[in-house]
Amino acid sequence: MALRTTELGAGPHALTTTAFGYGAMSLAGAYGPIDEPAALTLLQEVTGRGITFIDTANIYGLGLSETILGRFLEGRRDDIILATKCGIEPKGEAGKRSINGRPEHIREQIELSLRRLGTDYVDLYYLHRPDPDVPIEESVGALGELISAGKVRSIGLSEVTAAEIRRAHQTYPITAIQSEWSIFARDVEEYVLPTCAELGIGFVAFSPVARGLLTDGFDPEGLGENDARHKFPWFAPEYLEPNHQVANKARLLAADAGIPAAGLALAWLFTKAEGAGLSLSVIPGTRYVEHLDELLAGLDGQLSVELVAALDALAEEVRGDRSFSPQWVSGGREGLLPRASGK
């Protein structure tokens, strides 16, 4: 299957890759159990459908996602555009996280990631979150050094503001910005996306189907005890059913359009990106092969102005913030404005 491609970034550090990628957090069991044989089979199906962009991070399963990918990449590394991240680390109590953007940490973590991935370079290396205690210029300078060392081909940032993007890009060319963007999560649209379009920086959208809410098979009663979504306000007891009803409206619109809800959610993103002059790749994650086909159904869809407007309006009905902690989305800072709790 030949998928549409996109070029992230510009100049010598630009990356040409599939506009549909795979987010590999699911391989670490964040949304439910998956054993290694099943994960390797899933990755085979992912690449068999023409998807060549795979995104992971060192924190996913504390290295488990990278380790599984390393085994899968044996003999096929040159066929994959591989992205990983550093900058979030476990701290103290189980499940707690801290942000670390110090240059020495970045240099240390790339070595550990390369070892787990079984490769001597990654195509795109992100700072997973900006460290409030480290100037963004220092973190980006360390990332740029990794390009000079041949360990990284391009660099990116995740969950940053427009002002941070500009400062970072002046320090070293940024290829991609990654943040959450979906029909439900719209805060990047005011500042971050226009800045990316202006500077020629690509955008990578994670959770493009709102962590499963915008899929036909989502069951509000079906979240397992250890499902990471329990941490997110959209899935809190007081918000889950109202948000499920909002998603039902999207499902009805998808049915009228003749495509799965997940496919419609991605078609909406590509339509919005095209209108904004933005280079986009989306990186949904799944543990199920059948979900891949639902997602892929929207890649070439052309949505009417009326349908886009109807989907746009749904964001006003969503209840709760998109993340469990402001620090993980730079909440309250320009360009990543949290939804008021309860709205």
Catalytic residues: 60
Q: How far is CA 296 from the centre of its chain?
A: 16
CA 224 to CA 211: how far, in whole Å? 14
Strands 155-158, 202-206: pairing is: unpaired
Q: 34-45 in b/e burial notation, b at 16+ Cβ within 10 A?
A: beeeebeebbee
Provide CB contacts within 8 A for 35, sequence distance 6+: none
Sign of torsion over alpha carbons 64, 65, 66, 69: positive
Taking alpha carbons only, the member of 69, 76, 101 closest to residue 87 is: 101
Burial class of residue 96 in the structure, from the number of CB atoms within 10 Å of its CB (0-12 exposed, 13-18 middle, 19+ buried): exposed
User: E strands, the chain, where?
Assistant: 5-8, 15-18, 21-23, 53-55, 81-86, 88-90, 97-99, 124-127, 155-158, 176-180, 202-206, 280-283
User: Any idea what the Cα angle at residue 130 is, between residues 127 and 131, rounded to 5°?
Assistant: 115
Burial class of residue 327 in the structure, from the number of CB atoms within 10 Å of its CB (0-12 exposed, 13-18 middle, 19+ buried): middle
Q: Give, as one character, the DSSP assignment of residue 340.
A: P
CB-based contact 240:223 (threshold 8 Å): no
The secondary element (H helix, E strand) that includes residue 296 is helix 289-296
CB-based contact 180:153 (threshold 8 Å): no
* Rg of the chain on CA atoms, in Å: 19
Strands 81-86, 15-18: pairing is: unpaired
